[in-house]
Structure 1
Amino acid sequence: MDTEFLMRDKLVLRGLMFHGFHGVLEEEKKLGQKFLVDIDAYLELQKAGDTDNLDDSVSYADIYNLAREVVEGPSFNLLESVATKIVKDIFASYRQISAVRVRVGKPHVAVKGPVEYLGVEIYRSRTNMK
């Protein structure tokens, strides 16, 4: 994995909560459940910091709305597919974003024992997208 991204500028969205209908169980698709989403969107932020102009960055609200549309939209079986769709939509909408890290979690899962959530985390850069 390319770890150079760890030292780069990024927009940070944490603790996004949405109700969606993803999962392999019939009950998940019928009743839905809460999903937690975290996003890091990597892009150059120096110009925005110098100009204090949103046109030189990307609106957090726009990324939030994009994630909401994916999670609250059509059902997927796997969280991997939900996360990948969020990444692909971000790349399609914002050319200035060079890489994205997305975490999608389910706090209400059918496991024996207490958990905060179970989920997936993916990192994709434009150069490693298929």
Structure 2
Amino acid sequence: MGMIRINNLRFHTFNGVLPEERRNGQQLALDIAIDYPIETRVRHDDVHETINYAEVRQVADDFISSHSYKLIESLANHLLETLLAAFPTVNGITLKIRKYSVPMPGIFDDVEIEVEGAPHAD
């Protein structure tokens, strides 16, 4: 089955548990993988037969810029619900969110949260 991937979208956000995280903000990165049957739905080289990447990015941008959470797990769950509602023709979406400035000891690149879901059947 086909997959559409938008990798490493970057956002400056004000998510976090600590007051300085919410005050100063930090960078988050997103990977959005969309399960979409490209092989059967894209037949005429027409953007209306597929998922518009710019619209996916805009939905993510609008959501992230207007919401703030203490936990990136909450951000991931609510953004996933928003994307699934906005694009009901997909088979499913996997969303990864990476946080780079995590206030914990040790040497590491980032912390990553991954969630996945499918649109609800009506």
Q: TM-score, normalised by structure 2?
A: 0.89
CA RMSD of aligned residues (A): 1.6
- Please say if 1:27 is aligned against 2:10: no
Output aligned runs, 1:1-130, within 5 Å. 8-46=1-39, 47-48=41-42, 50-126=43-119
The 2-side partners of 1:116 and 1:25 are apart by 19
Question: How far apart are residue 90 of structure 1 and its match?
Answer: 1.3
**Structure 2: gaps (5+ residues):** none
What's the CA shift string for 1:17-74, capped at 9, x where partnerless? 00111111111111111001001011221221x2111100111111111111222222
Aligned length: 120
Amino acid corresponding to residue 12 of structure 1 in structure 2: R
The 2-side partners of 1:93 and 1:127 are apart by 12
Divergent runs of 4+, >6 A: none
Given that 1:70 and 1:82 are in contact with CA atoms closer than 8 Å, whether structure 2 keeps it comes out as: no
The 2-side partners of 1:15 and 1:97 are apart by 21
Does the C-alpha gap of structure 1 residues 126 and 95 become closer, same or farther in structure 2, counting only changes over 3 Å? closer
Given that 2:6 and 2:31 are in contact with CA atoms closer than 8 Å, whether structure 1 keeps it comes out as: yes
Given that 1:105 and 1:118 are in contact with CA atoms closer than 8 Å, whether structure 2 keeps it comes out as: yes
Question: How far apart are residue 127 of structure 1 and its match?
Answer: 5.3
The 1-side partners of 2:63 and 2:71 are apart by 13
